Amino acid sequence: MDAFYASAEQAAKPSLRGKPVVVGGLGTRGVVATASYEARRLGVHSAMPMAQARRLAPNAAYLVPRFALYRTVSDQVMELLGRLSPLVEPLSLDEAFVDLEAGGVADDSASARLVGEQLRTVIKGVTGLSGSVGLAGSKMLAKIASEEAKPDGLLLIEPGTERELLAPMSVRTLPGVGPATGDHLRRAGMTVVSHLAEAGEAELVRLLGKAHGVALHRMARGYDDRPVVAERDAKSVSVEDTFDVDLHDRVRVRTEVERLADRCVRRLRTAGRSGRTVVLKVRRYDFSTLTRSETLRGPTDEPTVVREAAARLLEAVDTTGGVRLLGVGVTGLADFTQEDLFAQAADAEHAAEESAAADAATTDGRGGAPDEASGAESRGSGEQPALRRWQAGHDVRHDVHGHGWVQGSGVGRVTVRFEEPWTPPGRVRTFLVGDPALRPADPLPLVREAADYSSWPASLPKSLSGPVPAEEDESSP
DNA sequence: TCTGGGGTCCTGATCCGG
DNA sequence: TCTGCCGGATCAGGACCC
């Protein structure tokens, strides 16, 4: 999907279409998750500090991510992909590999291209959003093709043209080459893919180590035989928080670690897993990051056990100077737990304490919300709960004015724009934050009446000569 | 200027047992 | 009994991805 979060927000909010939109954490230490193409033209890009984005694009709309909405759209897209093949490998909410051959829907370039074009049409019809398709004989090349195809395009790499196509591209194009490896290679005089192919495997292994060197040399020559893997079990579960202001109080640090441990266990239990190794992560005031881990005798999903292990690990960490981020994670996952009678006894003992902690965790009024929803929440800033209810970009309903979204809030007031995905840009009104007529609302679907693609792609083999009938899309700008 | 959150994989050091 | 070697487990850190 193209600029996924930002595109979804533009589809949901007609007044933002064609305007720069930036989605990310809005706290003082937030970063950009996704920038719309309009914002990218102003120099805003993913992972950029929000403060820098605001300087570059002061007039852009700044919104908090709404994962519930993105997940709904993602599920729709993944369902469509599942119709093409049993082998679908999601990479994230907005990207996936599909093995078309395994699905029997394409066996040559022409049929693959047809499926790709139809898929783009169907995704647009069902979700209202545009997606790009990369078609090639391997995952690496398909990924490169889809990047080249963005936005709103399709690119097919013909078999036999791979090496020639890759040769002049930057080494950074290859998956696994980030800033550090890119620098490393540049210092060795290698800037484009052909340099890697010419350097030879031995030289790359010498520079980058065995695994990375071998893999990179193969990819530089266009070889990539990694299969599309449909189901992958998670190998770790973790949660972390960056604080608006560094933590100095040791007691507060300890409290936060326990809170994170509880959140981590909740995630673990929701996934029906347990874990054997507990990991504590601490980022200090100077951005230096360290991890400490402890492996238990058997896998656990007991809050007390994880909390106490994390607390023990914290004992060994020097936090003088301040703590910027804390995280707690569990690895060595299993589908079972070892009966730990001691832990159960201890748990019963601490039951009262635990429920008190749970109460404290709900004081922001959203304690029951999914964990990821709290990702962009600001912490330690002393923000009022009443303001947190009205986060920029979130949907609301007003008894008189109907459905809208929060444009901003502050000094006891909240500004709302009343519009829906299928209406023209709406009007703005301001209310007191405590106005009883105004309530949080669920996101609306992005298209009012999705075209009927329920039989797609059953007609595919017979329709090689004609595309799927396209419906008029009301929600397009 | 000032750097999120949730993951995966790899490497090297160290320890331990056979 | 001592020594060397080897492999597996554990731990910490780094790079990368979206």
Q: Is the pLDDT of residue A373 over 80?
A: no
Question: Protein A434 CA to nucleic acid B8 C1', in Å?
Answer: 45
A236 sits within 7 Å of strand C by its CB: no
Q: What is the pTM of this model?
A: 0.86
pLDDT per position as a tens digit, A254-307: 999 999 999 999 999 999 999 999 999 999 999 999 999 999 989 999 999 999
pLDDT per position as a tens digit, A327-341: 999 999 988 776 544
Helices (DSSP H) in A209-350: which residue ranges? 210-220, 250-270, 303-315, 341-349
Q: Which of A95, A240, A294, A383 is catalytic?
A: A95
Q: Mean pLDDT in chain A?
A: 87
Q: Is the pLDDT of residue A367 over 90?
A: no
Read off the pLDDT band of A196 (50, 70, 90).
Answer: very high
A327 sits within 7 Å of strand B by its CB: yes
Q: Tell me if residue A155 falls in helix, strand or coil.
A: strand
A209 sits within 7 Å of strand C by its CB: no
The question of whether A231 is a catalytic residue gets the answer no
Q: Is the pLDDT of residue A472 over 60?
A: no
pLDDT per position as a tens digit, A84-114: 999 999 999 999 999 999 999 998 999 999 9
pLDDT per position as a tens digit, A417-462: 999 999 999 999 999 999 999 999 999 999 998 889 999 998 665 4
Q: Tell me if residue A91 falls in helix, strand or coil.
A: strand
Q: A122 Cβ partners below 8 Å, 6+ apart?
A: A80, A453, A456, A468
In angstroms, rounded to a whole number, what is the distance separating the alpha carbons of residues A293 and A329? 9
Nucleotides of C under 7 A from a protein CB: 9-18
**Element containing residue A295 per DSSP (H, E):** strand A289-300
In angstroms, rounded to a whole number, what is the distance separating the alpha carbons of residues A405 and A393? 6
Per-position DSSP letters for A199-250, written without gaps between them = H-HHHHHHHH-HHHHHHHHHHHTT---PPP-S-----EEEEEEEEEEEE--H
A60 within 8 A of A39, measured Cβ to Cβ: yes
Q: Is the pLDDT of residue A221 over 50?
A: yes
